[in-house]
């Protein structure tokens, strides 16, 4: 495992090194391409560069032409030159350059090769400055020449960007600087000031210009003299003289060879980058010795969080590079190199993290954007839920407060006049007025709907008082009112006709049934029948009695549902009546193996107002239901409880049949828990009990939980 980690770390190091080599190689290729190193030969490159070098040598030769201080030094180089003083308007190109009498000084004896000769012309005064390094020309440190001046009489001096500006009297001098130590003497006892604090030359004199030495001087000084330096390189080049031309020749030769070496280096480094990139990606997120992927270390951070961290590092690095660029060239190069190494590391690390996250999956849900969006969505959903539970008035207050906060934020941010604050107040008042107007419309509609819900079907909404947008709704509500009134009347009429039909048919059936029961009773009184005949008579008697009971229940259910029963309300002691009813069912329940548990939590004083006879019928129907439909060998429970206002009777039992219907369906008429209907019963017992309970101002509810059957009766307590 340790070796694997070392290999991975080594791969990253090699990748960074390859990136650095590739960057340097590509920069070298770009330099060679822009410098025409690939297109031009070595001789052509040398000829072009030597002309620039001749200008530098010419300027230095001109600075020492009045003295033999450096004449001997130029003789030791490949630099052949001569100095000519030009009269006003004299053209150097028309002079005979091979006539040595025209020269103030020259160090060559041969004719001037015009095809390769270089002519350098400039104006010189007594105050001309020459600040040129001699280290490249003669491979030694810079030495002040007798003609060179030092700024001991400077009035003001400052640094601005890459230049030093100095004022001496009316003159402003401009000199490039490369090393702070070069100007220690010049800036002694002086304070740095901004350049815009100076009186720029030209305000007191008509004009100015910058000469070849980059020194700003007054135009056309009276003591200015014009000189020309005719120079060329000794041919053939003497390589024993270690001057600038020999160095230049060597540098160009090396550059020509290296221009092709860096191409090969760039190709190999780019190939190494791709190879290492593929290798590092292939192991990114892989669990060593297992099948699967996992995130490690920095990879566990959200992808967008990693991007932000990398971006912050890049911005800080860029700022450091910017600071280094203004301090020192060597420090700047070192900073650039370190910054590029950091970029390469961040790039490969980010790419490996992306690959690992994609392999593991679910990367989107781990991002900061997703988490922030999820949080915002939860907040918005919470606000929406709270708003949905608010009244319209509270919603309006919430909206006005939110709008006020937003407007105040922008007002504080951008500023506002008193008219803006006034407009904000008028805006809120307008919103409140509009809300109040439409709220009154909805209140009128809501009042109409409540009247209809309370059964006031004759109530009519004043449509003419509503807004045009709501008049159609008001008209429809009034039509609904009328339709409900008609439908209710039709339903009541239909219910009355059905009840009358059931009652009449039941009476018509009951009359012949009574005769059948009477004759069956007479036949049973004779004893001369055989056993088979007696069995037939017994069945006939039992079924006729059942039919009679069904007809009586049907008539009673019809009367109870329509309220046609005359109730005789009196004070009834519920515990006493309930005990009497239960006593009549003890033997029957015992035969079925049903154990009845009675719990009385109210004592003996539990009085209600009810019809004694019909309350008995309610209890009787419920006990019959327990006896018929309870699972044998189980327990049934009767609980009597009370509070200050109500008496509650609860009956519970386990059904022998699966109850696959709802409690509402079971309370309908002719519906039985025994869907096969192989047991006795009409399916009217619960319906009759509920109707009678409601006629006595009570309430009956039915609950079914699996096979548990529970009936609850609630009456007002006296």
* Interval 505-517: pLDDT, tens: 666 666 777 777 7
pLDDT of residue 73: 67
Q: What is the CATH number of domain 458-469+478-564?
A: 1.10.287.130
pLDDT of residue 647: 92
**What mean pLDDT is predicted for residues 334-346?**
88
Which pLDDT band, with edges at 50, 70 and 90, does 648 fall under?
A: very high
Helix (H, G, I), strand (E, B) or coil at 67: coil
Which pLDDT band, with edges at 50, 70 and 90, does 63 fall under?
A: low
Rounded Cα distance, 242 and 173, in Å: 34
pLDDT of residue 122: 73
Q: What residue spans define the domains of the chain?
A: 42-146+224-241, 148-219, 458-469+478-564, 566-716
pLDDT of residue 652 exceeding 90: yes
**What mean pLDDT is predicted for residues 228-257?**
86
Phi-psi region at 623: left, alpha or beta (left = phi > 0; alpha = psi -120 to 50): alpha
Under 8 Å between Cβ of 175 and 214: yes
- Of 345-349, 428-432, 475-479, 631-635, the one with minimum mean pLDDT is 475-479
Cα distances (angstroms) measured from residue 364 to each of 287, 302, 374, 478, 683: 21, 9, 12, 56, 62
* Interval 668-680: pLDDT, tens: 644 545 544 445 5
Locus of tokens 């815009």: 196
Query: At 218, phi and psi to the nearest 5?
Result: -70, 150
**Mean pLDDT, the chain, whole residue set:** 76
Compute CA 421 distance to the chain's CA centroid, rounded to the nearest angstrom.
Answer: 34
HSE-up of residue 277 (Cα within 13 Å, Cβ side): 13
Read off the tokens for 415: 């500023």
Helix 329-360, helix 303-325: angle, nearest 10: 170
Helix (H, G, I), strand (E, B) or coil at 234: coil
> Class of 566-716 per CATH?
alpha beta
Nearest Cα to Cα of residue 174 among 196, 159, 189? 159
Locus of tokens 């709270």: 386
Under 8 Å between Cβ of 171 and 209: no
* Interval 433-486: pLDDT, tens: 888 887 788 788 888 888 777 777 677 787 777 777 778 888 877 777 777 777
The answer to pTM > 0.85 is no
């Amino acid at each position: 495992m340790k070796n694997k980690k070392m290999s991975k770390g080594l791969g990253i190091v090699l990748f960074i090194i390859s990136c650095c080599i590739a960057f340097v190689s590509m920069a070298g290729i770009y330099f060679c391409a822009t410098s025409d190193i690939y297109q031009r030969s070595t001789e052509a490159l040398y000829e072009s560069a030597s002309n620039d070098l001749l200008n530098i040598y010419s300027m230095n030769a001109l600075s020492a032409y009045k003295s033999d201080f450096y004449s001997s030094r130029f003789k030791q180089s490949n630099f052949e030159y001569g100095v000519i003083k030009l009269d006003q308007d004299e053209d150097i190109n028309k002079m005979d350059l091979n006539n040595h009498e025209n020269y103030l000084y020259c160090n060559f004896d041969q004719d001037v090769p015009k095809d390769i000769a270089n002519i350098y012309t400039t104006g010189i005064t007594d105050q001309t400055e020459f600040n040129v390094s001699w280290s490249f020309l003669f491979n030694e440190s810079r030495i002040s020449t007798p003609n060179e001046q030092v700024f001991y009489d400077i009035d003001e001096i400052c640094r601005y960007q890459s230049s030093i500006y100095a004022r001496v009297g009316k003159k402003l001098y401009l000199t490039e600087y490369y090393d702070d130590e070069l100007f220690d003497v010049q800036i002694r006892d002086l304070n740095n000031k901004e350049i815009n604090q100076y009186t720029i030359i030209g305000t007191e004199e008509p004009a100015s210009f910058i000469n070849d030495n980059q020194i700003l001087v007054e135009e056309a000084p009276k003591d200015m003299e014009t000189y020309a330096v005719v120079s060329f390189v000794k041919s053939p080049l003497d390589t024993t003289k270690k001057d600038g031309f020999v160095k230049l020749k060597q540098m160009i030769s090396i550059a020509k060879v290296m221009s092709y070496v860096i191409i090969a280096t760039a190709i190999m480094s780019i190939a190494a980058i791709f190879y290492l990139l593929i290798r590092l990606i292939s192991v990114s997120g892989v669990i060593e010795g297992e099948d699967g992927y996992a995130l490690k270390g920095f990879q566990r951070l959200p992808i967008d969080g990693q991007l932000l961290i990398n971006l912050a590092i890049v911005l800080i690095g860029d700022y450091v590079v910017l600071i280094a660029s203004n301090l020192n060239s060597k420090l700047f190069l070192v900073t650039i190199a370190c910054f590029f190494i950091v970029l390469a590391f961040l790039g490969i690390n980010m790419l490996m993290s992306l690959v690992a996250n994609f392999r593991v999956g679910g990367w989107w849900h781990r991002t900061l954007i997703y988490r922030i969006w999820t949080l915002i969505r939860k907040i918005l959903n919470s606000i929406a839920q709270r708003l949905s539970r608010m009244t319209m008035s509270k919603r309006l207050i919430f909206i006005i407060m939110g709008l006020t906060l937003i407007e105040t934020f922008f007002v504080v941010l951008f500023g506002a006049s008193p008219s803006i604050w006034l407009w904000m107040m008028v805006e809120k008042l307008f919103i409140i007025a509009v809300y109040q107007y439409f709220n009154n419309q909805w209140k009128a509609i809501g009042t109409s709907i409540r009247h209809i819900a309370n059964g006031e079907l004759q109530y009519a909404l004043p449509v003419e008082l509503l807004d045009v947008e709501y008049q159609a709704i008001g008209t429809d509500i009034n039509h609904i009112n009328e339709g409900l009134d008609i439908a209710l009347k039709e339903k009541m009429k239909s219910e009355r006709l059905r009840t009358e039909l059931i009652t009449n048919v039941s009476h018509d059936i009951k009359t012949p049934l009574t005769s059948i029961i009477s004759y069956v009773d007479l036949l049973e009184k004779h004893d001369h029948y055989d056993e088979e005949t007696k069995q037939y008579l017994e069945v006939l008697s039992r079924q006729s009695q059942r039919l009679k009971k069904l007809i009586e229940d049907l008539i009673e259910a019809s009367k109870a549902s329509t309220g046609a029963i005359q109730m005789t309300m009196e004070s009834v002691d519920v515990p006493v009546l309930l005990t009497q009813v239960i006593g009549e069912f003890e033997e029957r329940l015992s035969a079925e193996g049903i154990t009845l548990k009675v719990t009385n939590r109210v004592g003996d004083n539990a009085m209600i107002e009810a019809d004694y006879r019909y309350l008995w019928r309610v209890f009787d129907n419920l006990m019959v239901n327990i006896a018929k439909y309870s699972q044998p060998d189980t327990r049934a429970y009767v609980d009597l409880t009370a509070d200050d206002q109500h008496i509650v009777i609860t009956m519970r039992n386990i059904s022998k049949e699966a109850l696959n219907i709802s409690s509402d369906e079971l309370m309908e008429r002719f519906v039985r828990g025994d869907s096969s209907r192989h047991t006795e019963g009409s399916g009217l017992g619960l319906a009759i009990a509920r109707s009678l309970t409601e006629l006595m101002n009570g309430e009956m509810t039915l609950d079914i939980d699996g096979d548990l059957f529970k009936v609850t009766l609630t009456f007002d307590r006296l």
